[in-house]
């Protein structure tokens, strides 16, 4: 298996622009997680899905952030409008219920908002 795939790997955009991050989980996994990592705040869980349904979005910072999972093999995290404080590395991870909770992380998307 190719592992969790994220795109793009790097994104540089200007304040006010819309940003869309994409994730393809490992086939057969039924949980998908979105995290944000910064030096100041560490690793934060933004939202997670089970069987394509959002379970907990309490970590989403504000209404500018939204996430969707239209099917079992694809998810997006959208920021609109983006702000410089959104600059971070965003990770997607997936796991499956029978897998004793091991989460498999993607390589991350480094977002820079100018």
Partner 1 sequence: GDSVTQMEGPVTLSEEAFLTINCTYTATGYPSLFWYVQYPGEGLQLLLKATKADDKGSNKGFEATYRKETTSFHLEKGSVQVSDSAVYFCALESGGTSYGKLTFGQGTILTVHP
Name the site residues for partner 1 (rule: CB under 8 A): 4, 31, 33, 42-43, 45, 48, 50, 55-56, 91, 93, 95, 97, 100-108
Q: Which is nearer to partner 1, 44 or 81 (CB)?
A: 44
Q: Which is nearer to partner 1, 15 or 55 (CB)?
A: 55
Strand partners, 93: 33, 105
Cβ 34 to partner 1 shortest distance, Å: 12
* d(C-alpha 13, C-alpha 5), whole Å: 21
* d(C-alpha 60, C-alpha 44), whole Å: 9
Cβ 77 to partner 1 shortest distance, Å: 15
Q: How far is CA 17 from the centre of its chain?
A: 18
* d(C-alpha 90, C-alpha 63), whole Å: 17
Cβ 98 to partner 1 shortest distance, Å: 11
Q: Which is nearer to partner 1, 74 or 105 (CB)?
A: 105
Q: Which is nearer to partner 1, 39 or 70 (CB)?
A: 39
Ramachandran area for residue 42 (φ above 0: left; ψ -120 to 50: alpha; else beta): left
């Amino acid at each position: 298996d190719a592992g969790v795939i994220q795109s793009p790997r790097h994104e540089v955009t200007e304040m006010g622009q819309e940003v869309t991050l994409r994730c393809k989980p490992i086939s057969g996994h039924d949980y998908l997680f979105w995290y944000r990592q910064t030096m100041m705040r560490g690793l934060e869980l933004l939202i997670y899905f089970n069987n394509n349904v959002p379970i907990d979005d309490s970590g989403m910072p504000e209404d500018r952030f939204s996430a969707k999972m239209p099917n079992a093999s694809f998810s997006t995290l959208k920021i609109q409008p983006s702000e410089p404080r959104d600059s971070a590395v965003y990770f997607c991870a997936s796991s499956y219920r029978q897998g004793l909770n091991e989460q498999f992380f993607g390589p991350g998307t480094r977002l820079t908002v100018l």
